[in-house]
Amino acid sequence: MKKTELTEFRDLLEDMQSRLRGDVRQLTKEALGTDRQDGGGESKSPTHMAELGSDTFEQDFSLSLAANEQETLTEISAALQRIKDGSFGLCEICTKEGKSPAQSAIPKPRLRAIPYARTCVDCARKREGF
């Protein structure tokens, strides 16, 4: 992969990283009730705060969302590490199967959609399939 492309993906990953870090903090705070301010600017009905019945659900939801984002953050760090060590953009599974770097390359459109992807589409399908 070209150096300019690597820089592009590194920027993309770092953007996602800082956005997610803020999100995880915010979601955890919201879930634990230490921060009640509504973000997003979406208008909410005045009765919203009175819907106590939905609180537990919202708390679970926010916490599982935070956990997912935490997982994504781990993947992003791993991807940034791969940029440093030069294995970024190569499918882990194809590489293990002994394919050449050219054959193991994860297609650019997939990397643009999921810059922390570890595998090509085929391997991702196979992995999910069993």
Q: Quick one: 13 or 91, whose CB is closer to Zn ion?
A: 91
Size, binding site for Zn ion by CB under 5 A = 5
Q: How far is the CB of 128 from Zn ion (least distance, A)?
A: 13
**Per-residue contact track with Zn ion, 102 to 121, x per CB under 5 A?**
------------------x-
As measured in angstroms, the least distance from the Cβ of 125 to Zn ion is 10
3-state SS record for the chain = CCHHHHHHHHHHHHHHHHHHHHHHHHHHHHHHCCCCCCCCCCCCCCCHHHCHHHHHHHHHHHHHHHHHHHHHHHHHHHHHHHHHHCCCCECHHHHHCCCCHHHHECCHHHHHHCCCCCCCHHHHHHHHCC
Choosing from 27, 94, 111, 117, the residue that interacts with Zn ion (CB under 5 A) is 94
Site string for Zn ion, 64-93 (x = CB under 5 A): ---------------------------x-x
Task: Using CB under 5 A, list all residues that contact Zn ion.
Answer: 91, 93-94, 120, 123
